[in-house]
């Protein structure tokens, strides 16, 4: 079986561009690791850049399957385009389809789809200055973030705003630079937990839950910001399973599976939650195209702690994605 690894390579950031402009794109280490994992199950992997020529490359490349991690280009539908082109070409593809990829990249749409079945943090969408009076409806502090960005783009330390004035100013700053609406959510002071879900339909399962905590508790609000993620070895401690009572762990598992199904996820996804002051988990977002960097990606860190090293957790994760996708299409790998 010949498998295309469809991806967008991380470009050099142009002078004057935002510091996080290339944050969501993939590094060579990721592509090499995926290719090695796929080769280990007896398939022939071939990296394919998701540029303007990739439809032609896929059509004439003799591929049997596409392993899709492409971020695409453009605004809120960008992640959906590569998957949609694979579908148009009739090529089996791993991961969620175009509808799910578009809906989940738009954080407000994803919230509307899962709620009220899965509880969410209180929030408002600010598309322009006319929406700013709605900020008065929220309790402070709040987290202010681009509505249709991934990889924590725009979510820096300044995203945590203590009052309406700071929140409104941050909304304008983000709109000017990211050219998209801004989601403002009440800051949840409890534990942050991410869930890794794999599989399809009623056989989908949570392979593990991971608490994301500060390395040093300084008694101040902890935000899993862009700066923190970039320095995760020093600033973050990951706990698998989270340091929660069994009933809360089961509640998060249930919410994760429910969100996965409501959003139409396929094969794998990472779903993030944060607890309110009473310890009740609230949905933050779903990433059906989570990073697969062999060292630093959250879902990989989680897999390493769930599965013993002798079971080759990275290979098991990547190979499992292809096997689940192949099963959906009735293809033998």
Per-residue pLDDT of the chain (333 residues; tens, 9 = 90+): 999 999 999 988 777 788 888 888 999 999 999 999 999 999 999 999 999 999 999 999 999 999 999 999 888 899 999 999 999 999 999 999 999 999 999 999 999 999 999 999 999 999 999 999 999 999 999 999 999 998 899 899 999 999 999 999 999 999 999 999 999 999 999 999 999 999 999 899 999 999 999 999 888 899 999 999 999 999 999 999 999 999 999 999 999 999 999 999 999 999 999 999 999 999 999 999 999 999 999 999 999 999 988 789 999 999 999 999 999 999 988
Residue 113 lies in a domain: no
Whether the CB-CB separation of 144 and 167 falls below 8 Å is answered with yes
Q: Which two tokens stand for residue 83?
A: 């998957």
Residue 179: its pLDDT value, please? Answer: 93
Kindly report the number of other CB atoms within 10 A of residue 182's CB atom: 27
Q: Which two tokens stand for residue 114?
A: 């899962």
For residue 23, what pLDDT is reported?
A: 87
Sign of the Cα torsion 33, 27, 222, 190 reads: negative
Q: Provide the pairing of β-strand 65-68 with 123-126.
A: unpaired
Tell me, yes or no, whether 209 and 168 share the same domain.
no
Largest distance between two CA atoms of the chain: 58
Q: Is residue 100 part of a domain?
A: no
Quote the pLDDT of residue 175.
96
Domain shared by 284 and 201, yes or no = yes
Same domain (yes/no): 174, 225: no
Any idea what the CATH number is for the domain that residue 229 is in? 3.30.470.20
Domain end point (choices 94, 109, 141): 94
Residue with tokens 């794998």: 268
Sign of CA dihedral 19, 125, 119, 321: negative
> Is residue 297 in some structural domain?
yes
Asked whether residue 53 is domain-assigned, the answer is: yes
Domain with 158 in it: what CATH number? 3.30.1490.20
Residue 129 lies in a domain: yes
User: What gap in Å lies between CA 236 and CA 185, rounded to an integer?
Assistant: 23
Q: Of the residues 144, 163, 186, which one is the last residue of a structural domain?
A: 186
Distance of alpha carbon 11 from alpha carbon 21, whole angstroms: 9
- Same domain, yes or no: 179 and 198: no
* Residue 90 structure tokens: 């009739």
Q: How many helices (H) and strands (E) does the chain have?
A: 11, 12
Answer yes or no: do 158 and 286 share one domain.
Answer: no
Write down how long the chain is: 333
103 within some domain: no
Do 170 and 234 fall within a single domain? no
In this prediction, residue 68 carries a pLDDT of 98
The CATH number covering residue 76 comes to 3.40.50.20
Mark whether 210 and 321 lie in a shared domain: yes
Pair 267, 325: CB distance under 8 Å: yes
Give the closest residue to 107 by CA, choosing from 83, 76, 78, 133: 76
Query: What residues contact 288, with CB distance under 8 A and at least 6 apart?
Result: 95, 96, 100, 101, 104, 263, 265, 266, 268, 269
Question: Whole domain around residue 88: which residue ranges?
Answer: 2-94
Same domain, 206 and 178: no
Residue 275 lies in a domain: yes
127 lies in the same domain as 247: no
pTM for the whole structure: 0.95
Which of 100, 157, 106 is closest to 127 using CA atoms? 106
> Pick from 186, 219, 240: which residue ends a domain?
186
Same domain, 135 and 219: no
Do 203 and 321 sit in the same domain of this protein? Answer: yes
| C-beta of residue 87 within 8 angstroms of C-beta of residue 93 | yes
What local confidence, expressed as pLDDT, does residue 218 receive?
84
Is residue 116 a part of any domain in this protein?
no
Q: How many domains does the chain have?
A: 3
| 169 and 128 fall within a common domain | yes
């Amino acid at each position: 079986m010949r498998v295309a690894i469809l991806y967008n390579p991380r470009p050099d950031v142009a002078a004057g561009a935002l510091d996080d402009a290339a944050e969501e794109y993939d590094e060579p280490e990721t592509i090499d690791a995926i290719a090695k994992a796929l080769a280990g199950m007896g398939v022939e992997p071939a990296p394919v850049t998701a540029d303007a020529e990739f439809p032609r490359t896929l059509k004439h490349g003799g591929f049997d399957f596409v392993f899709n991690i492409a971020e695409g280009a453009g605004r809120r539908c960008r992640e959906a385009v590569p998957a949609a082109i694979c579908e148009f070409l009739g090529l089996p593809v791993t991961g969620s389809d175009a509808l799910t990829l578009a809906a989940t990249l738009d954080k407000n749409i994803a919230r509307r789809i899962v709620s009220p079945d899965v509880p969410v943090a209180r929030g408002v969408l600010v598309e322009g200055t006319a929406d700013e009076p709605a900020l008065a409806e929220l309790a402070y502090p709040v987290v202010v973030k681009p509505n249709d960005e991934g990889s924590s783009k725009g979510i820096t330390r300044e995203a945590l705003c203590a009052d309406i004035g700071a929140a409104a100013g941050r909304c304008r700053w983000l709109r000017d630079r990211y050219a998209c609406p801004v989601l403002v959510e009440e800051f949840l002071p409890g534990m942050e937990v991410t869930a890794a879900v794999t599989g399809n339909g009623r056989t989908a399962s949570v392979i593990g839950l991971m608490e994301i905590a500060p390395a040093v508790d300084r008694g101040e609000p902890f935000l899993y910001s862009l700066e923190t993620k970039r320095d995760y070895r020093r600033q973050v401690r990951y706990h698998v399973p989270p340091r929660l009572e069994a009933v809360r762990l089961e509640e998060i598992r249930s919410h994760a599976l429910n969100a996965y199904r409501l959003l139409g996820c396929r094969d794998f996804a990472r779903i993030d939650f944060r607890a309110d002051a009473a310890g009740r988990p609230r949905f933050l977002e779903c990433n059906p195209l989570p990073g697969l960097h062999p060292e630093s990606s959250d879902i990989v860190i989680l897999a390493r702690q769930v599965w013993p090293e002798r079971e080759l957790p990275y290979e098991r994760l990547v190979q499992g994605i292809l096997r689940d996708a192949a099963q959906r299409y009735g293809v033998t790998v």
